[in-house]
C-alpha cells in the first residue's frame, strides 16, 4: 500500500470529510484545467481541518490549500501531495452588530449579497468577485478603489507547521493583491470584518452596480481564472494588452479574451501549457513594446 493510499484510508476512517485519490483538478478550478491531485480533501468543519493537518504531518506529505479555484492555474501533470479544499463546513457566518465573523470557505459573491441585504456596508466593492472569503483575504482582493485590507480586523490562520493563530490586519502586511500569506503559507479558517450600518437600498444598489459592471466587462460566463496579471499601476494590464493588439489571440485551446485583455479563457479543451504560453507571449510583448515587466496575479501551481 502506498503512503498516499494509506493516508486516504486513515483520513476516511477518521471521518474528517470527503477524501479522494487522484482527483482531477479541472473539476475544482474555474478555468477547468488541471491534472490530478494525489489526494483531495474537503474538511467538513474546522476541527476536522486541524485533525487533517496533524495526520498529513505524521505522514510527511506536503499539502496546499485552495478555495473555489477562481485564481488558480494547475499544471496538466497535476499536484503532488494533498490538496485541501475549503468549502461546505468551512462556511459558517455570524453577524453581531457591525462585526461579521465568517468562515474562509464562504462564497464571496454569496456573502456580499447577504451582507448588502442586511444593510451593512463595506463589501459593496466585491459585488461579482468570485472565489472564497479566504482566497479574497489571501490575495487582498479589491475593486473600485477598495479592497479587503480596508475592512479586515483579523484572520484565524492555520499555518503549515500546525499553529492556529489570529493574525491582525497590521500583521497581515497587506499591499496591492498581496498579504503575509504569500510569504508564510497558511489556511484562512475564519475572518472578522468590521462593517458599517448604512441605507440598505443604497448598499444593494451599489453592490448590484459593481456586479453588473463586472459581468459586462469580464468573461466570467466562460471558463477562466480571473485577472491573469497584476496591474502595473498607474497603467492597467488589460489596457496594455489591448494596445499591443493581443486581445483575441489564441494558442491551442486558450484565448486572450476579446472582452477583457487581462483574462485568458479556456475555449476548447485548453491545457495549462496553452495558458502559460499565452502568458509568456504577453509578458515578452509588453516588455518589448512598453518596457513593463508584467507580473502574474493568478497563482500558478506547476511542479
| Whether domain 93-217 has CATH 3.40.50.720 | no
Distance CA 221, CA 167 (A): 35
At 96 the pLDDT is 95
Residue from 235, 236, 260, 229 nearest 247 by CA: 260
At 119 the pLDDT is 93
Task: Please give the distance of CA 44 from its chain centroid, rounded to a whole number.
Answer: 19
Query: Do 93-217 and 237-298 show the same overall fold?
Result: no
| Whether domain 3-85 has CATH 3.30.9.10 | no
Cell 472578522, residue located: 192
**Per-residue pLDDT in tens (0 to 9) along the chain, 303 residues:** 589 999 999 999 999 999 999 999 999 999 999 999 999 999 998 889 989 999 999 999 999 899 889 999 999 999 999 999 988 888 889 999 999 999 999 999 999 999 998 999 999 999 888 889 999 999 999 888 899 999 999 999 998 888 889 999 999 999 988 999 988 988 999 999 999 999 999 999 999 999 999 889 999 899 999 999 999 999 999 999 999 999 999 999 999 999 999 999 999 999 999 999 999 999 999 999 999 999 999 999 986
The verdict on whether 177 is a catalytic residue reads yes
Contacts of residue 119, defined as CB under 8 A and 6 or more positions apart, other chains included, come to 197, 198, 199, 200, 203
Instruction: Single out the catalytic residue among 23, 42, 190, 297.
Output: 297
Residue from 157, 164, 150 nearest 193 by CA: 150
pTM above 0.85, yes or no: yes
Instruction: Single out the catalytic residue among 32, 68, 177, 214.
Output: 177
Distance CA 246, CA 241 (A): 6
At 89 the pLDDT is 82
Instruction: Single out the catalytic residue among 48, 132, 179, 227.
Output: 227
Boundaries of every domain in the chain: 3-85, 93-217, 237-298
At 58 the pLDDT is 93
At 1 the pLDDT is 59
Residue range 237-298 forms a domain whose CATH class is alpha beta
Amino acid at each position: 500500500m502506498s503512503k498516499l493510499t494509506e493516508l486516504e484510508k486513515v483520513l476516511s476512517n477518521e471521518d474528517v470529510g470527503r477524501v479522494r485519490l487522484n482527483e482531477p483538478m479541472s473539476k475544482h478550478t474555474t478555468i477547468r484545467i488541471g491534472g490530478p491531485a494525489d489526494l483531495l480533501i474537503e474538511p467538513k468543519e474546522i476541527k476536522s481541518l486541524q485533525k487533517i493537518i496533524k495526520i498529513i504531518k505524521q505522514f510527511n506529505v506536503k499539502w496546499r490549500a485552495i478555495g473555489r479555484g477562481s485564481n488558480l492555474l494547475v499544471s496538466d501533470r497535476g499536484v503532488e501531495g494533498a490538496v485541501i479544499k475549503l468549502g461546505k463546513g468551512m462556511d459558517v457566518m455570524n453577524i453581531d452588530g457591525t462585526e461579521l465573523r465568517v468562515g474562509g470557505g464562504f462564497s464571496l459573491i454569496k456573502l456580499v449579497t447577504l451582507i448588502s441585504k442586511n444593510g451593512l456596508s463595506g463589501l459593496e466593492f466585491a459585488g461579482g468577485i468570485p472565489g472564497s472569503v479566504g482566497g479574497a483575504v489571501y490575495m487582498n482582493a479589491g475593486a473600485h478603489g477598495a479592497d479587503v485590507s480596508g475592512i479586515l480586523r483579523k484572520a484565524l490562520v492555520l499555518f503549515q507547521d500546525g499553529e492556529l493563530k489570529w493574525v491582525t490586519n497590521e500583521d497581515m502586511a497587506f499591499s496591492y493583491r498581496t498579504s503575509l500569506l504569500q510569504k508564510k503559507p497558511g489556511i484562512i479558517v475564519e475572518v472578522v470584518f468590521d462593517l458599517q450600518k448604512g441605507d440598505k437600498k443604497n448598499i444593494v444598489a451599489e453592490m448590484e452596480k459593481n456586479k453588473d459592471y463586472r459581468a459586462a466587462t469580464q468573461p466570467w460566463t466562460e471558463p477562466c481564472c480571473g485577472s491573469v496579471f497584476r496591474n502595473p499601476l498607474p497603467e492597467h494590464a488589460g489596457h496594455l494588452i489591448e494596445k499591443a493588439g493581443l486581445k483575441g489571440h489564441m494558442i491551442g485551446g486558450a484565448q486572450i479574451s476579446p472582452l477583457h485583455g487581462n483574462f485568458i479563457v479556456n475555449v476548447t479543451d485548453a491545457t495549462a501549457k496553452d495558458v502559460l504560453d499565452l502568458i509568456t507571449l504577453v509578458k515578452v510583448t509588453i516588455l518589448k513594446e512598453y518596457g513593463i515587466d508584467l507580473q502574474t496575479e493568478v497563482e500558478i501551481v506547476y511542479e
